[in-house]
Chains A and B, each alone.
Chain A
């Protein structure tokens, strides 16, 4: 097994430099290798297909440059395309003209929402904001306690009028949380919600009810970087069920290639705003499309080579 895409491509495209141009057959062989690399990185199949189509198109017209061998050339094309899709126009968090701004978090069970709520709160506090955390997961055992602990660690107050564990109405808590923020002069409200499956209609309706109650300025879809092919189905379910304006990728501190990033981005068109890369509150960063692209392809060094060439 080849470890990285560049190894794979190098073996497919050996001795081609002399030809000066990539032939149809070269491109097809290359496309097969890229396909496998993307699938191994967990990029969703429909996204792999359309992506390969685009890359083939670009590779056809490409002259093989003197500086790069054909493998490098193709890698460069693939990388450029990936960064293009992952990056788009990067943007900051949307904040309301009239505070408080409301940020709602949504995603599957265990994706990292509550942890992210703490990270985001601490990050925003560091920028001079006065966030309020609102505990709207009244479902999962001790989700409220967890948010309270997280808030304490972040030094940010938590609005938690209901103890949860099946007791209380999350829509009501969300609404009251925004009222509380307004009267206590918090300029940002971060609403933590229960994890839910895309197929759980009742829970998806609850999420859209929360959304309607608080009219978020930003709804962030929180997705685990280890997610496999299900990323597309789930992202579509959240897009259609709640609607989201941005994506946060979590658990990037592991060794998953993170193809889900590409899938979610390509399918929903919404930007990836942040990367969560650890359990501690400070393990949080803006999203870097270029790093993500080389990670998906497993070819850190290759890019340096190309840049030097």
Chain B
């Protein structure tokens, strides 16, 4: 593509006879800025690249590109454990369903991700129950119910305006009683700045915690999100102790570079990516292919 060859050109420029070509460095940082890495992270990556290029005596643009790729992959901590804990476990000799809580700001793709995740589990012959703990948004429970029918999962829902914590509680209780393998609880979208709504979410988690072990708290981030994604991740982590990130809408033009900062600051890995609106459009997060898409 056009951008790829532009980047290739700049990589070539970096190697020009000892003296670094400032314009080429700027183009490298532009590539990263435009992918939403943010100014500080971009500077770090570029500094790191400078150091590596000179330390390794890199001579060709192709090699430089390879080093940039390596630096970026490393910045994504490929060693992190990205397994989604959605399988049942034993407790006092009895099977306990895995409990997964899905959280995030408005419209990022929580309900869709809940449906897709159920699909993956059902395809592996697990029994799944969905808890519709979004009792606020218009037709949110209907939307989750449609997903449950689409993928073959049960659903527990409350009335519009019902206490989300009690719906979540009911879902986990029913899941335990009927011996399902996983209970996935979809929650209402809420901005991290709304303390009342964040308190409500904290309560959902506490209520479920009392009854069963919460195995995963997945924070759903929209790949189009810019620098605000870090603030979202910070606050959600404080309130419900996020254990994994899902990066949605990567099928669009947005690159999702905010996850560099999010992973580093929270130490929480991106575990899944959303690649479309369909039931099968969910995939594991792979740092290598993520970086390749970013540099493309």
Q: Does A208 sit at the interface, judged by CB under 8 A?
A: no
Majority SS of interface residues in chain B? loop
Question: Which A residue's beta carbon lies closest to that of B115?
Answer: A141
B143 contacts A142, C-beta separation under 8 Å: yes
Tally A residues with Cβ within 8 Å of B: 47
Q: Does A224 sit at the interface, judged by CB under 8 A?
A: yes
Question: For this complex, into which size category does the number of interface residues on chain B fall?
Answer: 35 or more
Roughly how many angstroms separate A233 CA and B34 CA in the complex, as a whole number? 10
Report the minimal beta-carbon distance from A147 to chain B, rounded to whole angstroms: 8
Question: In the complex, which residues 214-261 of chain B have their Cβ closer than 8 Å to any Cβ of chain A?
Answer: 222-229, 231, 249, 251-255, 257-258
B253 contacts A227, C-beta separation under 8 Å: no
User: CB-defined interface of A242-271 with B at 8 Å, one 1/0 digit per residue?
Assistant: 000000000101111101100000000000
B146 contacts A141, C-beta separation under 8 Å: yes
A197 contacts B109, C-beta separation under 8 Å: no
Chain B residues in 8 Å Cβ range of A36? 39
Q: Does B187 sit at the interface, judged by CB under 8 A?
A: no
Question: Which A residue's beta carbon lies closest to that of B34?
Answer: A229
Q: Does B96 sit at the interface, judged by CB under 8 A?
A: no
Q: Does B67 sit at the interface, judged by CB under 8 A?
A: no
Max count, chain A CB within 10 A of own CB: residue among B36, B137, B138, B254: B138
Q: Does A94 sit at the interface, judged by CB under 8 A?
A: no
Roughly how many angstroms separate A260 CA and B222 CA in the complex, as a whole number? 15
Q: Does A139 sit at the interface, judged by CB under 8 A?
A: yes
Question: Which A residue's beta carbon lies closest to that of B107?
Answer: A110
Roughly how many angstroms separate A153 CA and B35 CA in the complex, as a whole number? 39
Report the minimal beta-carbon distance from A139 to chain B, rounded to whole angstroms: 7
B191 contacts A251, C-beta separation under 8 Å: yes
Chain A residues in 8 Å Cβ range of B105? 226, 251, 254
Q: Does B202 sit at the interface, judged by CB under 8 A?
A: no
Roughly how many angstroms separate A148 CA and B160 CA in the complex, as a whole number? 14
Roughly how many angstroms separate A230 CA and B229 CA in the complex, as a whole number? 14
A197 contacts B253, C-beta separation under 8 Å: yes
B252 contacts A197, C-beta separation under 8 Å: yes
Residue in B138, B194, B225 whose CB lies within 8 Å of A228: B225
A140 contacts B227, C-beta separation under 8 Å: no
Given the known interface contacts A45-B30, A146-B143, A255-B228, the answer about A228 and B258 at a Cβ–Cβ threshold of 8 Å is yes
Given the known interface contacts A198-B253, A233-B253, A255-B193, the answer about A227 and B226 at a Cβ–Cβ threshold of 8 Å is yes
Chain B residues in 8 Å Cβ range of A257? 227-228
Question: Which B residue's beta carbon lies closest to that of A260?
Answer: B226
Roughly how many angstroms separate A219 CA and B92 CA in the complex, as a whole number? 60
Chain B residues in 8 Å Cβ range of A148? 139
Chain B residues in 8 Å Cβ range of A197? 249, 251-253
B224 contacts A230, C-beta separation under 8 Å: yes
Roughly how many angstroms separate A230 CA and B254 CA in the complex, as a whole number? 5
Question: Which A residue's beta carbon lies closest to that of B43?
Answer: A36
Chain B residues in 8 Å Cβ range of A142? 139, 142-143, 145-146
Q: Does B166 sit at the interface, judged by CB under 8 A?
A: no
User: CB-defined interface of A140-152 with B at 8 Å, one 1/0 digit per residue?
Assistant: 1110011111100
Question: In the complex, which residues 109-147 of chain B have their Cβ closer than 8 Å to any Cβ of chain A?
Answer: 109, 111, 115, 136-140, 142-143, 145-147
B252 contacts A199, C-beta separation under 8 Å: yes
B252 contacts A227, C-beta separation under 8 Å: no
User: CB-defined interface of A147-163 with B at 8 Å, one 1/0 digit per residue?
Assistant: 11110010000000000
B228 contacts A40, C-beta separation under 8 Å: no
Residue in B109, B222, B253, B257 whose CB lies within 8 Å of A199: B253
B254 contacts A228, C-beta separation under 8 Å: yes
Roughly how many angstroms separate A118 CA and B224 CA in the complex, as a whole number? 24
Report the minimal beta-carbon distance from B290 to chain A, rounded to whole angstroms: 16
Question: Which A residue's beta carbon lies closest to that of B30?
Answer: A45
Chain B residues in 8 Å Cβ range of A140? 143, 277
Given the known interface contacts A142-B139, A257-B228, the answer about A234 and B277 at a Cβ–Cβ threshold of 8 Å is no
Roughly how many angstroms separate A227 CA and B207 CA in the complex, as a whole number? 33
Residue in B34, B115, B224, B227 whose CB lies within 8 Å of A234: B224
Chain A residues in 8 Å Cβ range of B223? 230
User: CB-defined interface of A107-124 with B at 8 Å, one 1/0 digit per residue?
Assistant: 011111010001000000
Question: Which A residue's beta carbon lies closest to that of B111?
Answer: A141
Roughly how many angstroms separate A198 CA and B35 CA in the complex, as a whole number? 17
Roughly how many angstroms separate A156 CA and B32 CA in the complex, as a whole number? 46
Question: Which A residue's beta carbon lies closest to that of B254?
Answer: A230
Chain A residues in 8 Å Cβ range of B194? 253
Q: Does A50 sit at the interface, judged by CB under 8 A?
A: no
Q: Does B108 sit at the interface, judged by CB under 8 A?
A: yes
A229 contacts B249, C-beta separation under 8 Å: no
User: CB-defined interface of A211-238 with B at 8 Å, one 1/0 digit per residue?
Assistant: 0000000000000101111100110010
Given the known interface contacts A228-B225, A228-B227, A228-B258, the answer about A110 and B106 at a Cβ–Cβ threshold of 8 Å is yes
A254 contacts B138, C-beta separation under 8 Å: no
Q: Given A110-B106, A146-B143, A229-B33, list of 12 further CB < 8 A pairs? A: A108-B224, A142-B139, A146-B137, A150-B138, A228-B36, A228-B227, A228-B254, A234-B254, A237-B253, A253-B194, A255-B231, A256-B231
List the 4 closest A-B pairs by CB distance, nearest first: A228-B226, A110-B107, A42-B226, A149-B138
A sample of 8 inter-chain contacts (CB < 8 A) reads A40-B39, A42-B36, A110-B108, A141-B150, A234-B252, A251-B105, A254-B191, A255-B192
